Amino acid sequence: MRLSGMLSAPVALSLAAALTACGGGTPQAPAADAAAEPHELDDATHEELVELATEEGSVTVYSFTSRIASVEEAFEAQYPGIDLIGHDIASSEQITRLRSESQAGAPSADVAYISDAPVVVTELVAGGILRNYVPPRLAESVPREYREPLLANRLSTKILMYNEEAHPDGSPVENLWQLTEEEWNGRVVMVDPSVRGDYLDLMAEIVRRSDEMAQAHREHFGTEVVLDEGIENAGQQFIKDLYANGLVLVDDTDNVNQAVGATGQDDPPVGITSYSDRRDNEEEGWALQASLGTVPSPGITFPAYIGMVNGARNPAAARLVADFLMGDGSETGGPAYEPFYVPGDYPVRTDMAEPADAAPLEELGAWDIVPEETARIRDGVADFLLTL
């Protein structure tokens, strides 16, 4: 690895010291305080990273979306000397792998592209397993809440969706409490929150927003919500009533999309899924559409995080991937960002335009989760769901 003449002096000396310290011996899990310290490559220039990353030769990415395959192709076209090895792994499984690999002192991934923000922030970041990296070029174009504690490249969603072929005049659900009524008995579909963390986050947000749920109850029924014995707030009461009304739980988002969106249905269900899955409507024969205007909210938005795996083998290539995932300087992000520049996903860069053919973020009206606050109540919500 040619350090002299390529890296700036502080970066070269710091990296050389780190390499010396990593000589022989038994691998050790990285310490949390070590991950909190700036990395020697955080201030490296793009050119320095490219040369170091080319010497590394490869980079392994754990990704919670299958779109990593498109990223791999575009990345290798731009950096032909670097092999991007992408693994499509659900966030919950990523968390398990990253924990165990860190404990063994043998990280396999260099980059974690991951959702499930409450667990990521309070366990993986706080535990020193993932560290942050914000490419210097993005310091002014990404708001602070999306560059700390980890960099986000977009906001994803879990919202109420309906079949627009069956309902051409708009969503049949104006208020979430309608889903607890007989009309929707057995006709609401969702991935089981015990299977996917982002659906558990939605349940937690409904509880966290209990005041808004109580107001929505007053607007729909004209009365105050009456809490059953053992129920603490309007959010819990809504969830209990929803489950009691035959909520259909499945193990995969595609099952929700098919059940809700398949064309040719006379009386299709509604369901919770990703707004961006509308991109597959034509290919899959779906008619998915967002339930805009539903009060108090159609669902949640949450960050898709890019984390550097602490102690990874290819730290320079990892930082190139982070930079690449944020797109180029154009308002659409160019080829690097193309897999994510789709209706229903929302770029966090202020210098990018939102994709067309989807409601602007403000019009969508989804709740933007606060990972630390969600984390405080999430386990309690999970325990509550087990009683239903």
87-100, pLDDT tens digit by residue? 999 999 999 999 99
Q: 205 and 272 in contact (C-beta within 8 Å)?
A: no
* Rounded distance between C-alpha atoms, residue 296 and residue 290, angstroms: 14
Q: 198 and 237 in contact (C-beta within 8 Å)?
A: no
> Residue 295 forms beta bridges with which residues?
175
- Pair type for strands 299-309 and 151-163: antiparallel
Q: Is the alpha carbon torsion for 92, 158, 193, 236 positive or negative?
A: positive
**Displacement of CA 234 from its chain's centroid (Å):** 27
> Residue 306 forms beta bridges with which residues?
113, 151
* Rounded distance between C-alpha atoms, residue 113 and residue 63, angstroms: 5
Instruction: Please provide the size of the chain in residues.
Output: 388
CA distances (Å), 254 to each of 200, 250, 362, in order?
17, 9, 27
CA distances (Å), 276 to each of 75, 219, 339, 342, 356, in order?
22, 30, 11, 6, 12
Query: For the whole model, what pTM was predicted?
Result: 0.88
Query: Residue 386 corresponds to which tokens in the numbers above?
Result: 């087990």
Q: 239 and 385 in contact (C-beta within 8 Å)?
A: yes
Terminal CA-to-CA distance of the chain, rounded, Å?
58
Query: Residue 76 corresponds to which tokens in the numbers above?
Result: 């290798």
**Displacement of CA 228 from its chain's centroid (Å):** 34
* Rounded distance between C-alpha atoms, residue 361 and residue 371, angstroms: 19
> Could you tell me which residues come within 8 angstroms of residue 319 by beta carbon, excluding any fewer than 6 positions away?
41, 42, 44, 49, 53, 133, 135, 308
Q: Which stretches of the chain drop beneath a pLDDT of 70?
A: 1-36
Q: Return the H-helix or E-strand segment holding 14.
A: helix 9-21
CA distances (Å), 380 to each of 120, 191, 230, 387, in order?
18, 19, 13, 11
Q: pLDDT tens across 247-289, in order?
A: 999 999 999 999 999 999 999 999 999 999 999 999 999 999 9
Q: 101 and 27 in contact (C-beta within 8 Å)?
A: no
* Rounded distance between C-alpha atoms, residue 20 and residue 32, angstroms: 21
Residue 27 CB neighbour total at 10 angstroms: 11
Query: Residue 231 corresponds to which tokens in the numbers above?
Result: 């129920």
Tokens 């089981």, located at residue? 192
